[in-house]
Structure 1
């Protein structure tokens, strides 16, 4: 075998591995977990940070691989997913299952080393995503509500990893990321509506690109902003936000609400894509502002 063929094969193996575990998504989840840890930790332990990053990555990778095994036939019908390793025939279901199972075991063990509660929430996340959210996606738009639970766990998980405690603080972090899931996923569901339809997925709350869906997306964008500001009022325990940081978060949130209003007004694919990008920017910048606020005050 020539050197170029060998390198191409290894490249495709690496890219398939990244695709089956959705590496980019996994890294964004790890970012949320680390932000939650930094918010909860009184003294930052870099060993725990590393374990959380690894454990979080393995958990998300496992969920994504199991998801792609279950949806392999539907993925083959959609332009967005037909070139994934399993429907494209580059990876067998057995190989994907082995990767998913190894990742799940490694993830739970690594998170258990941090503390048992962290491992428990990680395991709940995999179970909900794989066994409830994934099968519901072709049955009901309510699947997004179920999927928002494992989607909201990472930010909270970091705090639990730092404190071995679940209280008002991680509960608030969970609520922020929970409400945020809706405008984010409905925006994706809007601009990928035709492709999702091919696979039989109905991700929008009314099942259609209509005013009611756009209105719900706008309402959840507003609720996300309001929940994000709760820590400034001082009744979320150790999770506190100074008024200056709250103003920054409010401005960021109003940016996301603006794009949700644009979707309501225009009801276009372009407006949905802009809202999706705005939502990703919002949650990332919010987490950075929260962490900086803690360490700079």
Structure 2
């Protein structure tokens, strides 16, 4: 009997933890934290473990809060899409009140953690939550410009790490911001291409032309080119302490050209398979170049 009760408790805790991961979009939050860590390592003169832990914890809380607010606002729309109808709120496993408590607690913890690093870090974290929940989320059903607006909070994490390490905003974190800003367009448009039918069920307008056509594919190509250009600019010595060696710049360039290849394949084929390959290439690209930037700093 005790064993059965213990099993039920374990299952309940497991479900609660699973729903918490889903309401905060744990995998996305972890990838964002990874970007912040890369930015911190690039900016830090000396690595402080406490600061790094505060950045990791605060970053996860801020992203988790944004995602929780987003799922509260879009609960009725999520119920219309195959991809999201089993999320905690539309499925009925979590109430809106519970989700709101989680979001508020994470917001407070996130802001306090980042404030312990510096007021600037906390300010940028708070701006990202505001833009994501108050501008990007409601705009998704109004205009494809939502992707442009969403690219701002999405580009903050890489930059945020540098600001957390230096308490300074200048050309270096600005460049990191621009890299991740331009990267988001091919990434999210490839994702939007794959999920276009599902998104349209909820009235989301994610593709720049509204359709899976050559116009959308061409814009993906153009933004990918801009992303590549920004990513290799540090090799020319114009970006302060943020710089790349020639070998590192070659790796970044080749990675970008690989992504550009998949963008051209999408233009040529205009199918979901090509969009998926581009989306996976984009995920690989952003993680790889962040690793290259960090390794290059410490071996140069």
TM-score by length of 1: 0.99
1:22-37 equivalent positions in 2, closer than 5 A: 22-37=25-40
Report whether the alignment pairs 1:9 with 2:20.
no
Deviation at residue 7 of structure 1 after TM alignment: 2.4
1:44-63 equivalent positions in 2, closer than 5 A: 44-63=47-66
Q: How many residues align?
A: 297
Equivalent in the alignment of 2:147:
144
Equivalent in the alignment of 2:270:
267
Among 154, 165, 170, the residue aligned to 1:167: 170
Equivalent in the alignment of 2:179:
176
Among 94, 104, 128, the residue aligned to 2:107: 104
Structure 2 unaligned segments of length 5 or more: list them. Answer: none
CA distance in 2, matches of 1:10, 1:163: 40
Among 198, 203, 207, the residue aligned to 1:204: 207
Deviation at residue 149 of structure 1 after TM alignment: 0.1
Among 235, 247, 253, the residue aligned to 1:250: 253
Among 84, 90, 94, the residue aligned to 1:91: 94
Structure 1 unaligned segments of length 5 or more: list them. Answer: none
Cα RMSD after superposing both structures: 0.7
CA distance in 2, matches of 1:238, 1:213: 36
Deviation at residue 8 of structure 1 after TM alignment: 2.2
SS in 1 for 2:206: coil
TM-score by length of 2: 0.98
Equivalent in the alignment of 2:281:
278
Deviation at residue 202 of structure 1 after TM alignment: 1.1
